[in-house]
Amino acid sequence: MVGLIYGSAALALDSLTPSQLAFIHALPKAELHAHLNGSIPVSELREMALEFNSRTSDKAASDLVHDGITKLQNGVVLDEIYDFFNLFPAIYALTSNPASLGRATRAVLEQFLGGSYPQCTYLELRSTPRETADMSRLDYVRTVLDEVERYPKSRAALIVSLDRKMSAEVIQECVGVASQLKAEGRRVVGVDLCGDPQAGDMNILGEHFADAKKAGLGITLHIAETPANPADETIQLLSYAPDRLGHATFLNDEAKAIVRGNKTCIELCLSSNLLCKTVTKLEDHHIRYYLQHDHPIAICTDDTLPFRTSLTGEYALLLAAQPLGLGLSEGEVRRIAEMSMAARFGQ
């Protein structure tokens, strides 16, 4: 199933010739940066919302869900990136027990890996373990893994996300859950740091990332996603020796030198950055810098639900002629896809 897409990615996709589209479909590529609760197909979420509202007598919860889903269906317009995080309470109300979380995960996996033209060859899905009245964080991760592991190892794996707002105790619990499940042979391949880019204390993270590394997990961090992220925070996050980085939009020269020296793969999400207004226009996107330096990158979707995009759409933004796309050659796009496959944690 390929979800409907809108905006820049849809325009770029529409401008491609049939042979260019066939080229993108045939390209082996990895989706390495997709947040589970931000990637639920809107049709599935709408059904889940109808069922939720028919069951609940909690008027406030029902209104929250109704308003949230209506917004997502109509297309979200964000004034700035911080508006984005307000979308999640409505979605979280719908994925708060093992049955609904499993159902949402199945739909996300099918969206990326199913159909005649799967969006990607391999998906490294990520999600933040949530404790609710109906599940512990361990139950949460097990529920997601049960769905991920329906696909072969060569197609799907899970990254456990840590939210910047989590306390040290909860971070320790999440890294413990990820390490335990990996040791049990479950398909957890890494940990991520995500959430509101201005929240949290980045000083508490070092020992937990060291533990994750010891457990054999890859580390990816959302870094310098906004201009408000201070340079010393970025340098501190880089000192945790991440294997990949998300966004890395506002790196200064010192940070760029470290990242280039370590050849750290950058997960780039073009539509996400444009819609969150951290990048003004496609031609100004920091992908250009990394391409100029032949630095490892992976093109990813981030959150297909609010950003109304798909991985095929994001690749169309690479290939489409300017001004709809970056006008890269098929050779350049192939090289980018190869870099995404080379940066998988679960190889």
Q: What minimum distance in Å lies between the beta carbon of 261 and ligand 6MZ?
A: 25
Of 177 and 194, CB closest to ligand 6MZ: 194
How many contiguous H segments (helices) and E segments (strands) does the chain have? Answer: 17, 8
Q: What minimum distance in Å lies between the beta carbon of 37 and ligand 6MZ?
A: 4
Of 27 and 76, CB closest to ligand 6MZ: 76
Q: Strand (E) positions, 62-150? A: 122-127
Of 279 and 336, CB closest to ligand 6MZ: 279
Burial of residue 184 (CB within 10 Å: 0-12, 13-18, 19+) is exposed
Residue 255 has, within 13 A of its CA and on its CB side, a CA count of: 20
Of 233 and 330, CB closest to ligand 6MZ: 233
Q: Strand (E) positions, the chain? A: 30-35, 122-127, 156-163, 188-194, 218-223, 244-247, 265-268, 297-299
Sole residue written with tokens 């990816």: 220
Q: What minimum distance in Å lies between the beta carbon of 109 and ligand 6MZ?
A: 13
Q: Nearest-CA neighbor of 321 among 18, 17, 25, 5? A: 17
Under the rule (CB under 6 A), what is the footprint of ligand 6MZ?
A: 35-38, 84, 88, 127-128, 161, 163, 194-195, 222, 225, 272, 276, 302-303
Q: What minimum distance in Å lies between the beta carbon of 59 and ligand 6MZ?
A: 24
Of 56 and 86, CB closest to ligand 6MZ: 86
Tokens of 233: 């925070």
Q: What minimum distance in Å lies between the beta carbon of 147 and ligand 6MZ?
A: 13
Q: What minimum distance in Å lies between the beta carbon of 56 and ligand 6MZ?
A: 21
Q: Are 332 and 303 in contact (CB under 8 A)?
A: no
Q: Where in the sequence numbering do the catalytic residues fall?
A: 225
From residue 158, alpha-carbon distances to 161, 277, 327 in Å are: 9, 28, 33
Tokens of 131: 């404790």
Of 24 and 87, CB closest to ligand 6MZ: 87
Q: Are 256 and 231 in contact (CB under 8 A)?
A: no
Of 84 and 151, CB closest to ligand 6MZ: 84
Q: Strand (E) positions, 171-234? A: 188-194, 218-223
In the sheet that holds 188-194, the strands lie side by side as: 30-35, 122-127, 156-163, 188-194, 218-223, 244-247, 265-268, 297-299
Q: Strand (E) positions, 164-319? A: 188-194, 218-223, 244-247, 265-268, 297-299
Q: What minimum distance in Å lies between the beta carbon of 38 and ligand 6MZ?
A: 5
From residue 140, alpha-carbon distances to 96, 204, 223 in Å are: 9, 24, 25
